[in-house]
Amino acid sequence: MEEPTGEPLVQIRDVVKTYPGGVTALKGVSLDIYQGEFFTLLGPSGGGKSTLLRILAGLEMPDEGEVIIAGKDMTRVPPYRRSTSLIFQEYALFPHMTAAENVEYGLKAMKVPPRKRRARVNEMFKFVNLDGKQKRRVWELSGGERQRVAIARSMVIEPEVLLLDEVLSTLDEKLAKEMMIELRQVQHGLKKTFLFVTHSQEEAFTMSDRIGVLNLGIIEQVGTPLELYKQPRNSFVADFIGMANLLTGEVVTADADRLFVEAWGLQFQVKNDSGEASVGQEIGFFIPDERIEIGDSADGMANQVEAEVRDIIFKGPYVHYELGLESGHTLRAKKMGERDFHKTGSRVKVGWDDSDVRVLEV
Ligand code: ADP
């Protein structure tokens, strides 16, 4: 997708929602989502993701703020008169109906005449690459096919936005991985706006054009996966999106372009990007795991420490190293599959450049 420009398709403005029990699930959330985007709301359980999705679907009313979809104020419009469609966990297909009957359901409810209905349904089956499977029962479909039926069922009523609530969270890891790729492909094909909710970093990073990180009713950051990864705005985002090697420490020396920070009983050199950090200040920073060099390739780097290889994990094309420091702390390194990797228990030199260290807001 191109960089989003123009008028957003969905505008969420200062939405506040407090439940009768007194929990404020959303504390003034604003968000813009653009036509054709795969946008993911990512955050820990209880962060307010489902509440926001339900407000967009019209199943819940905000106490304050507004929701504008395609230029129209939808804040108080009931669900059936909105241009949104919600897909629940495990898709909630009707098991006693055929695939086609599932897809037809929404059109029947809208009292579309039979012939028109059938034409629309067949068109949808072609769109999601399921042509020929109209008569199948739900149990005769694979996981991927069920997902596509659910998408067809939601898209047949031509919503502006498809809302997906943790739809992959109960699937086993292998199936969830396949579904992620499928879902992304279907979204690309349809060129529709998907708003996907998940607590899984992997799902968010695999599928999204942009991600909004929602925690305790507040949007912590919005950005592309790369932006979040490279420049997490605060330690919550860095931590939550699984950033290894997150440290906090005190600045002991600062010059124009470098900081010396004391952390873990060591001194770390960190690039003074903002030029704002001063001596005595507590800062957070992280060392991206793929920037850490091990062994001879660590020579000449601004930061060098001794470590013991505690564990090696092979993950696809990568090798993950757990590197134990004398202080008892652990650094993580991620290397593209090298043939002569360092063995568990060996002592190694570990290094990284000051310019690779990212300073966070604390
Ligand atoms: P998430 O989807 O990120 O897990 P939710 O939107 O489900 O978050 O919940 C946000 C907060 O609102 C939680 O503290 C949750 O307990 C509370 N909450 C959600 N739904 C209700 C409800 N119907 N009544 C009372 N509290 C609720």
* pLDDT tens figures, 169-189: 877 777 787 778 888 888 988
Q: Which residue has the higher pLDDT, 205 or 96?
A: 96
pLDDT band, very low/low/confident/very high, at 228 (cuts 50, 70, 90): confident
pLDDT band, very low/low/confident/very high, at 87 (cuts 50, 70, 90): confident
Which residues, judged by CB distance below 6 Å to any ligand atom, belong to the binding site of ligand 1? 19, 21, 23, 25, 43, 45-51
Please report, for the chain, the start and end positions of each structural domain, with discontinuous segments joined by +: 10-240, 246-360
Distance (angstroms) between ligand 1 centre and the Cα of 268 equals 41
Q: Residue 289: helix, strand or coil by DSSP?
A: helix
Distance (angstroms) between ligand 1 centre and the Cα of 221 equals 20
pLDDT band, very low/low/confident/very high, at 1 (cuts 50, 70, 90): low
Residues 201-230 have a mean pLDDT of 89
Q: Report percent pLDDT > 90 for the chain.
A: 55
The confidence score (pLDDT) of residue 243 equals 58
Q: Distances from the Cα of 351 to the Cαs of 125, 200, 220, 316, 325, in angstroms?
A: 54, 31, 31, 24, 12
pLDDT band, very low/low/confident/very high, at 301 (cuts 50, 70, 90): very high
The CATH T-level fold of domain 246-360 is: OB fold (Dihydrolipoamide Acetyltransferase, E2P) (2.40.50)
Q: Give, using CA atoms, the residue closest to atom 22 of ligand 1.
A: 19
Q: Distances from the Cα of 355 to the Cαs of 269, 292, 358, in angstroms?
A: 9, 12, 8
Distance (angstroms) between ligand 1 centre and the Cα of 49 equals 8
The confidence score (pLDDT) of residue 359 equals 78
What is the gyration radius of the CA atoms in the chain, in angstroms?
24
The confidence score (pLDDT) of residue 76 equals 93
Most ligand 1 atoms within 8 A of CB, residue of 12, 17, 23, 26 to mutate: 23
The pLDDT tens digits of the residues spanning 236-258 come to 998 787 656 878 899 999 988 89
Question: Bridge partners of 68?
Answer: 11, 73
pLDDT band, very low/low/confident/very high, at 235 (cuts 50, 70, 90): confident
Min mean pLDDT across 67-71, 95-99, 181-185 is at: 181-185
State the residue for tokens 């969905």. 10
Could you say which architecture CATH assigns to the domain 10-240? 3-Layer(aba) Sandwich (3.40)
pLDDT at 147 over 90: no
The pLDDT tens digits of the residues spanning 118-127 come to 999 999 998 8
Q: Which residue has the higher pLDDT, 16 or 185?
A: 16
Instruction: Give the per-residue SS3 of 24-80.
Output: EEEEEEEEEECCCCEEEEECCCCCCHHHHHHHHHCCCCCCEEEEEECCEECCCCCHH
Q: In whole angstroms, give the CA distance from residue 79 to residue 83.
A: 8
Min mean pLDDT across 130-134, 173-177, 184-188, 286-290 is at: 173-177
State the amino acid at position 219 in one-letter form: I
pLDDT at 45 over 60: yes
The confidence score (pLDDT) of residue 341 equals 77
Atom of ligand 1 minimally distant from the CA of 51 = 6
